[in-house]
Amino acid sequence: MSARPEVTGFFEPRTFSIQYVAADPRTGKCAIIDPVLDYEEKSGRTGTVQADKLLAFIKSRGYELEWILDTHPHADHFSAAQYLKEKTGARTAIGEKVVDVQKLWKDIYNWTDFRADGSQWDKLFAEGEEFRIGNIPARVMFSPGHTLSSITYVIGDAAFVHDTLFMPDSGTARADFPGGSSQALWNSIQAILALPDETRIFTGHDYQPGGREPRWESTVAEQKATNIHMSKCKTMDAFKAVRDARDKTLPMPKLILHALQINTNGGRLPEPESNGRRYLKIPLNALEGASW
């Protein structure tokens, strides 16, 4: 816990996402966590504005990018992992249970020839596996519940939890996606909150309740004391009742069917067809949760 990475967050307002650069200030080595590829669904346009901000920041600091880390295949934005790999040569990684998500969505999209083996990433991390960012030790916690494959990266004194905990005034992430489980989410959060109280918690989204400014950093102690779900729900059953009731009121994310075919493929866009254009595939009536 004595190792303290320099963490810089980049808020992406269209999807309320936070991208991170976590760096070892002594060696200048760094990792990008959960990068966003721009996508405008009305026009079908893609772009690299957000990802290029990360590259410009890294260049301005004189850092060397070692890792491009995804916590899970996202349902609300495209991953820029492949774009950043092509630009930098850095290794991409995600949790090894991504293969379970790939198999689930392979069936939903009817992708008969899709490789559901995780080979789209350079590294698949197992629960408890250790690595380094420069000289800062890092390890992986398996954190399912929001998805089948969600992981937390603990890098020095910083835990990147993405869709498990939000800021204390926003509670916890939904658990009703295909493969999700509020019970599994409870267990994952308990493991995160068992980290030392001073551990810094970095979330993957902030939806700015009440219109406040975006925030993305708290501590384990703050989460235990003031999180609107975890400070009140003292048992799994209590949490499950609150989380499941909330999830029943939520429509599916507007980009889930767009994003999963990109993000289960490591951030790769579909291959161009004979006319040079790329096409997304949208299955009809595959998900519940329509917002009429």
Split into its structural domains, the chain has a count of 1
Q: Assess if residue 285 is contained within a domain.
A: no
CATH code where residue 181 lies: 3.60.15.10
Residue range(s) defining the domain that contains residue 26: 6-263
Q: Assess if residue 243 is contained within a domain.
A: yes
Q: Assess if residue 116 is contained within a domain.
A: yes
- Residue 164 CB contacts under 8 Å (≥ 6 apart), including other chains: 143, 145, 146, 150, 152, 172, 173, 185, 188, 189, 192
Q: Assess if residue 280 is contained within a domain.
A: no
Q: For residues 159 and 203, what is the distance between their CA atoms, to the nearest angstrom? A: 9
Q: Assess if residue 213 is contained within a domain.
A: yes
Which pLDDT value is given to residue 186?
A: 98
Which pLDDT value is given to residue 256?
A: 95
Longest dimension (CA), the chain: 57
In Å, how far are 164, 180, 288 from 201, measured between CA atoms? 11, 22, 32
Which pLDDT value is given to residue 2?
A: 56
Q: Assess if residue 223 is contained within a domain.
A: yes
What is the four-CA torsion angle of 138, 144, 148, 152, rounded to 10 degrees? -20
Q: Assess if residue 72 is contained within a domain.
A: yes
Tabulate helix, strand, coil % of the chain (nearest 5). Answer: 25, 25, 50
Average pLDDT for runs of 10 along the chain of length 292 = 88 96 97 98 97 98 98 96 98 98 96 96 98 97 95 98 96 93 97 98 96 97 97 96 94 94 97 97 90 74
Q: Assess if residue 269 is contained within a domain.
A: no
